[in-house]
Amino acid sequence: MHLEKPVREVFAGVFRVNEKLSTRSLAPGIKVYGEDLNRKKDCEYRAWDLFRSKLAGAIQKGLREMPIMPGGSVLYLGAASGTTASHVADIVGEDGIVYCVEMSPRTVRDLVRACEVRPNMVPLLADARFPAQYASAIEEESEGRVDVIYQDVADPEQTRIIATNANAFLQKGGAAMLCLKARSIDATVNPQEVFRKTKPELEKTFEILQEINLDPFDKDHLFYNLRKK
């Protein structure tokens, strides 16, 4: 006899549904990137693709603490078309907010479509290197501070960008999550050497709570869970 597997909560707002990592959808019936939708009683869950979301990959590989939680405010740097950002919006829920910063006008058009059905997602066409470009939006809604900064930006100065944004928008003890892309920093150097050299730069601003190598979901990526000093 086939027994349906129960919904199991991994973190607040993050679930396993039929053993697949998932979030409870804020926009039932609507897919963002072709993900599977699963109905359980009166709730719909969106399967979270481990190969298309570095945050999902980090959770799968043993993330110990999840600072993104229901009711929270998140500054998402490098939101692209909204794949992971839409799951983050599901997690924070209707009482939370996700500021989605993306610098590509073409990509922002796709991002806006994801935001249209999730009122807690705010699309911002801006450059994460320059927090002043979007500071007024955060000041208006969140009094200039957020609970978490999540960064997935392909830029040689990834560590400087997250530190600059943390100094602008995080209080002491605030949380940050960084997807460090070694090949975007220096494609000619062994990724492990890149990680070794960038770590002291991060430690100037943050306490490193956990490091997760994202292989096989994302090659040459290191995921950091951080706390602002």
Instruction: Summarize pLDDT for 88-128 with one digit per residue, the tens.
Output: 999 999 999 999 999 999 999 999 999 999 999 999 999 99
Domains 8-47 and 54-228 share a fold: no
Q: What tokens appear for 22 in the block?
A: 């998932």
pLDDT (0 to 100) of residue 141: 87
> Residue 83 above 90 pLDDT?
yes
Please classify residue 40 by burial: count the beta carbons closer than 10 Å to its beta carbon, then call 0-12 exposed, 13-18 middle and 19+ buried.
middle
Q: How far apart are CA 7 and CA 87, in angstroms?
A: 17
What is the C-alpha radius of gyration for the chain, rounded to an integer number of angstroms? 17
Mean pLDDT of the region 148-161:
96
Average model confidence (pLDDT) across the chain: 95
pLDDT (0 to 100) of residue 4: 61
pLDDT (0 to 100) of residue 35: 96
Residues forming beta bridges with residue 9, ordered by sequence position:
15
> Residue 1 above 50 pLDDT?
no
pLDDT (0 to 100) of residue 205: 97
CATH class, domain 8-47, is alpha beta
Mean pLDDT of the region 27-48:
94
Q: Which of 100, 82, 4 has its CA nearest to residue 46?
A: 82
CATH class, domain 54-228, is alpha beta
pLDDT (0 to 100) of residue 3: 52
Q: Which of 177, 229, 176, 175 has its CA nearest to residue 204?
A: 229
Domain ranges of the chain: 8-47, 54-228
Mean pLDDT of the region 43-69:
97
Enter the pTM of the model. 0.95
Q: How far is CA 164 from the centre of its chain?
A: 17
> Residue 86 above 60 pLDDT?
yes
